[in-house]
Every structure is written in structure tokens, then in C-alpha cells.
Amino acid sequence: MTVLINGQFMSEEQAAVPVTDRSFLFGDGVFETIPVYNSKPFRWAQHLERLARGADFLKIRLAFAPKELRVLASELIERNQMPNAVLRLTLSRGPGDRGYSPTGADAPLVVMSLHPRQAVDPQNPPVWRLKTSSYKLPASDPLSSFKTNNKLLHVLARAEAEAAEADDALMMNTNGEVAEASSANLFWIYRDTVYTTPTGRGALPGITRAVVLELCQALNLPTNKRVIKPESLRKSEGIFLSLSSLGIVPVCALDGESVPTSPIVDKILATYHEVVQRETGS
């Protein structure tokens, strides 16, 4: 596998970052996970815009312009002969002195790598079981607006879910409100309206989440962003997740209890794949 570090292509075995790298030491950086269809990164501009906002918030210099990164991503896809994949784009503040202070850490690292992407059949999509996590997300954390390189709460929540033989974790915030899954945004159906949790309360403003809201508007499906407690979520008429790597994933169970199947979820899922095909030619 060929990877890219600061514009240089090299084999995965040769690739290395310094032991003083601040992303390695503190999770000091941001990343994006971008699906690639037919050699085209899906919603590239939106992913890069969020990466740039995260870099600006953390005061990390992004040495490459979005157009440069797009060219490098295309070459990486071509070199690896992986037209359908998941592209991981990571920005680290780079090497620094011991301690929390970022002073002097002025050589940021940009890393790109490709990973196999699970093919999804819109007629037979994966369905997930969720397990409510004991780990809580801060309700008013400005870092929740970005995919920072420190995701320990999500890592622990996912491990907890897998130990319970679930596919992902449902995460609450510190107010006891539903926030998101450990790797996805959350939607639910109630009385023919599509609901999702608002951002700014622990949930990431996901790129695929934004696509879903676009689709609902195109399909004339009413939407609402609102806070919800777990007991109310259990009364919904359908639950689904949105994530870049898989798109739309219906939820079939929550904490061992079956979740109803909604035809609205099926409609959104089918339309999502139509949009991907139209924008990438896949």
C-alpha cells in the first residue's frame, strides 16, 4: 500500500512519523474520513471545508491548498488502484517539545492513506444493533464541531458496544440527551417527520448528515433538529445512522429491543445511493 506524508509518496512500511509528533502524544490534530467511489472522493469540498475550520480552530497551519490535496488524493488512488475505498486525511500539528505547550511546533504533517470500503447493496444494506454507552460526551464542547485526533470517549464507547455484541454505541451527552453514535450521526422517524440531534450538544456536524437533510428537502420530507432523551427515542417509528464510510445504516435493535422498520428510511437510503451515483458516476 502506498501512503502520502507531506506530499511524498512512500510504501506503508516506510512511512513513519516522529515519536515527538503531537498527534501521537496528545491527539493534537484533525482528520477526515472520505468515501471514494469510482476514483472520486464523495463530497470532497465539504470534508475539506470542515478540516480547514478545525485546523483554524486549533491554530494549525494547513500547508496545502484544497486543490493541491485533491490532486494528491487522485494520485494516491491511482497508485494504489483503489477506485472504491475510504480515504483517511490526517493533519497533525507535527513534532514538538515535551509538554502541552504547542510553542515551536511549526512543522505540521499531512498524511493520506486508503483503506478498503465495504460495498453496500441498497436493496440489502447492513443493519446495526446499538448499545447505549456509559460514556458521556460533553454537552457544550466546541471541539465536537470537528473530527479531532483524540477520540478516546468514542473508542471506549465502541469497545463497550462490541463487548455487548452490538455494532455501535449510542452516546449521551452530559445533560442526559441523545447525542450520536460513536461513529455516526443519529436520525429517527416519528409521525412521518425525520428528526436528528442538533449540533452544539455533543454531536458532530457530519457531512453525510448534511446530505441526508438535503435529501429530505428534495423528497419533501419534513425534518426537525431537536434534543431527545433515551426514553423518547425508544418510542420512535424507525432509527437510522449516517456515516461517510457506509452512507445510511438502518438500526434494527437498541439495547436488545427491536426497532421498527420505516419505509421512510428505505426511501432515504435509496435516494442517497442515487445521489452518490450521480455525483461520482459509480
Express each pLDDT in 225-255 by its tens digit. Answer: 999 999 999 999 999 999 999 999 999 999 9
Closest CA to 108 of 164, 49, 59, 180: 59
Beta bridge partners of residue 173, listed in sequence order: 137
Are residue 209 and residue 133 in the same domain, yes or no?
A: yes
What pLDDT is recorded for position 122? 87
Same domain? For 159 and 273 the reply is yes
Please give the tally of structural domains in the chain.
Answer: 2
| 161 and 245 assigned to the same domain | yes
Rounded mean pLDDT, 50-79: 96
Q: Is residue 121 part of a domain?
A: no
Indicate the residue type of 166: A
State how beta strands 85-92 and 29-37 pair.
Answer: antiparallel
Q: What is the CATH number of the domain that holds 219?
A: 3.20.10.10
Percent of the chain predicted with pLDDT > 90: 97
Q: How far apart are CA 161 and CA 158, in angstroms?
A: 5
164 occurs within a structural domain:
yes
* Same domain as 91, residue 219: no
Residue 74: per-residue pLDDT:
98
Examine the pLDDT at 11 and tell me if it is beyond 90.
yes
Q: Which residues pair with 254 in a beta bridge?
A: 130, 257
Q: Are residues 174 and 224 in the same domain?
A: yes
CATH number, position 12: 3.30.470.10
Domain boundary among 57, 84, 116: 116
Q: For residue 68, what is the enclosing H or E element?
A: helix 66-80
pLDDT band at 216 (very low <50, low <70, confident <90, very high): very high
pLDDT at position 207, please? Answer: 98
In a domain, 123, yes or no: no
CA dist 181 and 148 (Å) reads 16
Q: Is residue 209 part of a domain?
A: yes
Using the 3D structure, point to which of 95, 116, 137 is the last residue of a domain.
116
> What is the per-residue pLDDT for 156?
98
The kind and range of the H/E element at 171 are strand 168-173
pLDDT computed for residue 75 by the predictor: 98
- In a domain, residue 122? The reply is no
In degrees, rounded to 5, the angle at the alpha carbon of residue 155 between the alpha carbons of residues 147 and 94 is: 50
Residues 145 and 264 in one domain: yes
AA identity, residue 94: G
- At 157-203, the pLDDT tens digits run 999 999 999 999 999 999 999 999 999 999 999 999 999 999 989 99
User: Taking the CB of residue 280, how many other CB atoms lie within 10 A of it?
Assistant: 18
- Identify whether residues 84 and 203 lie together within a single domain: no
Domain presence at residue 22: yes
Contact (CB, 8 A) for 90 and 111? yes
Q: Residues of 100-137 as b/e, b for ≥16 C-beta within 10 angstroms?
A: eebeebeebbbbbbbeebeebebeebebbbbbbbebbb
Distance in angstroms (rounded) separating the CA atoms of residues 48 and 148: 14
Q: What integer pLDDT is reported at residue 258 of this predicted model?
A: 97
> Are 112 and 137 within one domain?
no
Compute the average pLDDT of residues 56-68. Answer: 95
Domain boundary among 116, 137, 161: 116
pLDDT digits (tens, 9 = 90+) for 124-154: 999 999 999 999 999 999 999 999 999 999 9
Q: Look up the domain containing 100 and give its range.
A: 2-116
Quote the pLDDT of residue 282. Answer: 78
Cell 432509527 -> residue = 239
Residues with Cβ within 8 Å of residue 218, at least 6 apart in sequence: 271
Return the SS3 of 165: coil
For residue 258, the SS3 value is strand
Query: 226: which 3 cell numbers?
Result: 431537536
256 domain-assigned: yes
- Amino acid making up residue 148: T
- Which pLDDT tens digit goes with each residue over 260-279? 999 999 999 999 999 999 99
